[in-house]
Amino acid sequence: MARQTLTKGLRGGLLVLACVAFLSSVWQGWRWLQAEQFNQALAQQDYLTAARYPGAAGAFAQAYAVQQQGAFRASVEASAALPELPPPLALRRDYNLATLYLERGLQELQQGQQDLAWPLLELAKSTLRAVLRRDSRHWQAKFNLERALALLPDPIEGPPPPRVQPNFSRRSLVKTPGRRELP
């Protein structure tokens, strides 16, 4: 009798284990299918479809889709609202933001709006430098930084200018006592 209860318990445990394994494999298959659809959407440059993918990669695709539509403010807001990204995606996000700032700065320069272009170019330079600090071999960031520096060079910081003494008259030297007597 005890043996029958043990056998029934073992069968029940194996049945539960089989159900868990089956559900786990179904879930893994579903995730694989989603990843495959995401990769196909990226290969076809259909970023709006890729944006439906859950997680950081889908949010990144959504922000990139907004950027591709050319909406500057919405693109900056979408990029800023991205959740915590893994380092490779964070690097791409920052590079995309810097490129967005650079392109918008170039547009403003072409329209003769230097007062709007200079801050955008400064943002592009600082963001590109941050990208290059994380990955010094990022050639696109180097190229874009060179473009931004050609448009808006950094101020030259050298030694401070020499201190110029104020004009003085020679008479003041003669009339100034060199030594005073003690009282």
pLDDT at residue 64 greater than cutoff 60: yes
* CA gap 51, 45 in Å, rounded: 11
- 82-130 tens-digit pLDDT: 778 788 888 988 998 999 999 999 999 999 988 899 999 999 999 999 9
Q: In whole numbers, what is the pLDDT of the chain averaged over residues?
A: 80
105 and 117 Cβ atoms separated by less than 8 Å: yes
The answer to whether the pTM exceeds 0.85 is no
Where does a domain end: 38, 69, 100?
Answer: 69
Show the tokens assigned to 175. 């009339």
pLDDT at residue 1 greater than cutoff 60: no
Structural domains counted in the chain? 2
Q: Quick one: pLDDT at residue 182? A: 67
Q: Which residue range is the domain that position 44 belongs to? A: 7-69
In sign, the C-alpha dihedral spanning 69, 34, 77, 122 is negative
Q: What is the percent of the chain where pLDDT is above 70? A: 71
* CA triple 44-47-53, angle to 5 deg: 105
In a domain, 167, yes or no: no
In a domain, 140, yes or no: yes
Show the tokens assigned to 64. 């990139």
Among 19-23, 47-51, 80-84, 155-159, the range with the most confident prediction by mean pLDDT is 19-23
Mean pLDDT of all residues in 55-74:
79
149/115 same-domain check: yes
93/135 same-domain check: yes
Mean pLDDT of all residues in 40-49:
66
In a domain, 170, yes or no: no
In a domain, 63, yes or no: yes
- 45-60 tens-digit pLDDT: 666 666 676 677 777 7
Name the one residue in this structure whose structure tokens are 């700065």.
105
68 and 47 Cβ atoms separated by less than 8 Å: yes
65/91 same-domain check: no
- Which of 33-42, 100-109, 117-126, 141-150 shows the lowest per-residue confidence on average (mean pLDDT)? 33-42
Q: Quick one: pLDDT at residue 85? A: 79
Q: Quick one: pLDDT at residue 41? A: 66
* CA gap 96, 65 in Å, rounded: 12
Task: Give burial (CB, 10 Å; 0-12/13-18/19+) of 49.
Answer: middle
Q: Quick one: pLDDT at residue 43? A: 67
In a domain, 90, yes or no: yes
Where does a domain end: 69, 96, 111?
Answer: 69
* CA triple 11-14-15, angle to 5 deg: 85
54/101 same-domain check: no
Select the more confidently predicted residue: 133 or 7.
133
pLDDT at residue 140 greater than cutoff 60: yes
106/133 same-domain check: yes
